[in-house]
Amino acid sequence: MVWIIVGVILIAAFGPIFYLRPSPRDKQVANARDAARRAGLIVEMGRLEKLNASAPEKVSAGGKARDASYEVATYRRRLPRTKIDPPVWKMIYAPDEKRLVGDRVPTYRMQNVPKNVPEHATDYWRQIADLATSAPAGTRGMEAHVEAVRWIGVEAPGDANAEEFVDSVVGFLDTWARIHVEVVKTQVESPPG
């Protein structure tokens, strides 16, 4: 009887320690973030608005506003400094939403008015649309800024290991950075007017 009581006490004492151990998914995400940092990316956490949130997700029964967003990771690749600022915009993945006038890429919704985009940038938007169709798994958005391009998404390497997942994000961001540098070069070589 004493041994049973001792066993129960030991289980009660060490149970929470086993609960704190990271899950296999936590380990996989941590490995992906470490691999991304080694590849020269900046990893940040944030929240992203849920575009197709239902009414109960936005407002409680008592009328209080709810946060209709979810946690995402952003993997950021810094851009080289240029004389002219590259385009600035943000798109969120929205496959079920109606297209708006400013939406330039299928299945994505523009979150702001694009800035620094050349007037006749149809080739630029075609390249961005092609890039968006080959985005890594888990992509929830893309953000172009003056000094960086950002992949916004849910880290879900799935069956792929962390290195393969990060390689796909790095390839995506490097291609995108190249497109940005090229659009700036064409603006410098052939200024408007």
pLDDT in 10s for each residue of the chain, 193 residues: 788 887 788 777 777 777 777 878 788 888 888 989 999 999 999 888 777 777 777 788 888 887 777 888 999 998 887 777 778 888 888 776 655 545 567 777 777 778 877 766 778 888 888 888 888 888 888 998 888 899 998 886 566 677 888 889 999 999 988 888 787 766 655 554 4
Whether 18 maps to a domain, the answer reads: no
What does the alpha-carbon distance between residue 173 and residue 148 come to, in Å, rounded to a whole number? 10
Whether 1 maps to a domain, the answer reads: no
Whether 91 maps to a domain, the answer reads: yes
Token pair belonging to 4? 């049973």
Task: State residue 133 phi and psi, 5-degree precision.
Answer: -70, -20
Whether 92 maps to a domain, the answer reads: yes
Whether 9 maps to a domain, the answer reads: no
Q: Please give the pLDDT value at position 193.
A: 47
Provide the domain limits for residue 159: 23-189
Number of domains observed in the structure of the chain: 1
Whether 183 maps to a domain, the answer reads: yes
Whether 114 maps to a domain, the answer reads: yes
